[in-house]
Structure 1
């Protein structure tokens, strides 16, 4: 990853945390708005919307002694799991379905669907089958190629594997993509 394009490539290949951030910010804002409304109503000696701040504090203070203790323990475990999931979501890098192609002087980002289509076209040419009989899926580190030969016409498995390997190597992708080629034993009816 070249220095001038490193930030651009990272931004285009990793998912932002915008949705999670907005949802959490809205939930926190709503909770703070509700707590502020209850405090203002309490200071003005008005009836509360749900509970007074004093009742909330009393409930929190009595929480460890409430029954059933198992329900309170399960609630605490659920809150801890939610917190852990949010921390993992913040730390882990979310990958988009894109790869970087190594290129001098340019930042080249390729969508996995485009890669799959290109590999499928190359496989169809090498196997001499219609492109719909070459199904390719590309994920972060793997390309899976499923070839269905035309019924009665054998395909050269070595030629297909070589075509896939050559096609993927020609892109010089980052992160590197390994491949698996599966030849279906039942053929499709030719058109």
Structure 2
């Protein structure tokens, strides 16, 4: 379902590329400033800061013939990996730990921690467990529920699974969550 808030929802559920963009722009700007400074110093007949543009170009042109070859290969491989990582980072969507929930035609952004807490509370209520005996972790597409029963008091697995499915289903999340429920065989001592 396409909501009128699709742009806002995407902005709130995906991580921005601002930091990467600023770092890359800063590196490129510094490189341009350095090259401009070297060119101006060369035109004024002053000594270079590090190397003249002609010396730097000559070094880059002679790079494949320099020794040791393994160092040149490692350097080239590292540069290729950095380039590949930047390309993957640019193409892949970075997701934040949030989900979109539809409520009466409105888009609501819910943090995964809030979802986990709500599911845990429902499980503890249904299973009649003290607080903290249901651990829930929510990722982008999956919720994992771990129930630690109180020693000597059995829990109804079917009721817990049903409660988890009901709770997750009632949220109408985008993307939808699959869930796994694990009831531990060993319990804890109740208070």
The answer to whether the superposition gives a TM-score over 0.5 is yes
The CA deviation at 1:162 is 0.7
By how many angstroms is 1:3 displaced? 4.1
Q: Which residue of 2 aligns with 1:146?
A: 146
Q: CA deviation at 1:30?
A: 1.3
Which residue does 1:100 correspond to in 2? 100
After TM superposition, the runs of 4+ consecutive aligned structure 1 residues lying more than 3 A away are none
**What is the TM-score when the length of structure 1 is the normalising length?**
0.96
Q: Which runs of 5+ in 2 are unaligned?
A: none
* Inter-partner Cα distance in structure 2 for 1:169 and 1:47: 72
Check if 1:87 corresponds to 2:126: no
Deviations 1:139-171 (A, max 9, x none): 000001111111111111111111101100100
How many residues in Structure 1 have an aligned counterpart in Structure 2?
Answer: 191
The reply to whether residue 54 of structure 1 matches residue 28 of structure 2 is no
Aligned equivalents of 1:151, 1:7: Cα separation in 2 = 50
Q: Does the CA-based 8 Å contact 2:3-2:107 persist in structure 1?
A: no
Deviation at 1:105, TM superposition (A): 3.0
Q: Gaps spanning 5+ residues in structure 1: where? A: none
- Taking structure 2 as the reference length, the TM-score comes to 0.96
Matching residue of 1:34: 34
RMSD: 1.2
2:135 alignment partner, SS class: strand
